[in-house]
């Protein structure tokens, strides 16, 4: 049913007001929000069928803490447990200490990983895209530096400018300087592609380069 305009019998400074019904679409939308609100209250607050935002947050934080805590049940030997009792000396005194030390198996050194510089044009193009998406904001469009250091000169704050050291810095990040570790974020191929792109920036002369920082390596 279509309502005709109904003019109220009063005015404000010559402005008159209509007394029309609200549009059906607006009323229906309003009723839907009421029904949705009732369902929401019962689902989350009355019957506890779904997790609230605070519960989702605690679950996510628990996963992060578990993944970063290492082995389950591990406790640092330097943790303050409240027990101030000094540990008992080993049986046999100094001789026992020497024997225990000698009986320990030697720690096997982990060999350093040597990465191969990417030379494929397609992968280098991908590395440039990864750089533009993740590194440009701090190191500049051409590696000239910005918030982060200049990537085109021979001065290095972290590492020595070799390809392996660039890969390591990209992988592990520099948290103290605000650079995150990209190993958990990027695929290994993308990580090597972007590291190769950054390595190829060394020796270029972009406009407005940032002043040298760190220690000089190479010529």
Q: Quick one: what percent of the chain has pLDDT higher than 90? A: 47
Chain segment 139-193, per-residue pLDDT in tens: 999 999 999 999 999 999 998 889 999 999 999 999 988 899 999 999 999 999 9
Q: Which of 97, 87, 99, 217 is nearest to 157 (CA)?
A: 217
Q: What is the mean pLDDT of the chain?
A: 81
Which residues have C-beta within 8 Å of that of residue 195, sequence separation ≥ 6? 115, 118, 127, 163, 166, 167, 170
Q: What is the pLDDT of residues 87-130, one digit of tens each?
A: 666 555 555 455 555 555 665 555 677 889 999 999 999 999 99
User: Can you name the CATH fold of 121-216?
Assistant: Cytochrome Bc1 Complex; Chain D, domain 2 (1.10.760)
**Residue (of 30, 50, 53) closest to 40 by Cα position:** 50
Q: How many residues does the chain have?
A: 219
CA-CA-CA-CA dihedral for 65, 69, 73, 79, to nearest 10: -110
pLDDT at 50 over 70: yes
- The pTM assigned to this predicted structure is 0.50
């Amino acid at each position: 049913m279509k309502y005709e305009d109904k003019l109220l019998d009063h005015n404000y400074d010559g402005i008159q007001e209509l007394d029309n019904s609200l549009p059906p679409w607006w009323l229906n939308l309003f009723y839907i929000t009421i029904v949705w609100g009732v369902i929401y209250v019962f689902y989350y607050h009355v019957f506890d069928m779904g997790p609230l935002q605070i519960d989702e947050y605690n679950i996510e934080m628990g996963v992060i803490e578990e993944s970063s805590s290492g082995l389950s049940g591990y406790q640092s030997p330097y943790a303050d447990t409240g027990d101030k009792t000094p540990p008992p000396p080993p049986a046999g005194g100094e001789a026992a200490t020497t024997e225990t030390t000698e009986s320990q198996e030697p720690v096997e050194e982990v060999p350093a990983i040597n990465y191969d510089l990417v030379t494929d044009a397609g992968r280098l193009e991908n590395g440039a895209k990864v750089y533009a998406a993740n590194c440009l904001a701090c190191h500049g469009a051409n590696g000239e530096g910005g918030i982060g250091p200049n990537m085109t000169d021979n001065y290095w704050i972290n590492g020595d400018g070799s390809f392996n050291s660039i890969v390591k810095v990209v992988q592990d990040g520099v948290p103290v300087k605000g650079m995150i570790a990209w190993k958990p974020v990027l695929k290994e191929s993308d990580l090597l592609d972007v590291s190769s792109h950054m390595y190829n920036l060394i020796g270029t002369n972009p406009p407005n380069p940032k002043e040298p920082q760190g220690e000089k390596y190479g010529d």
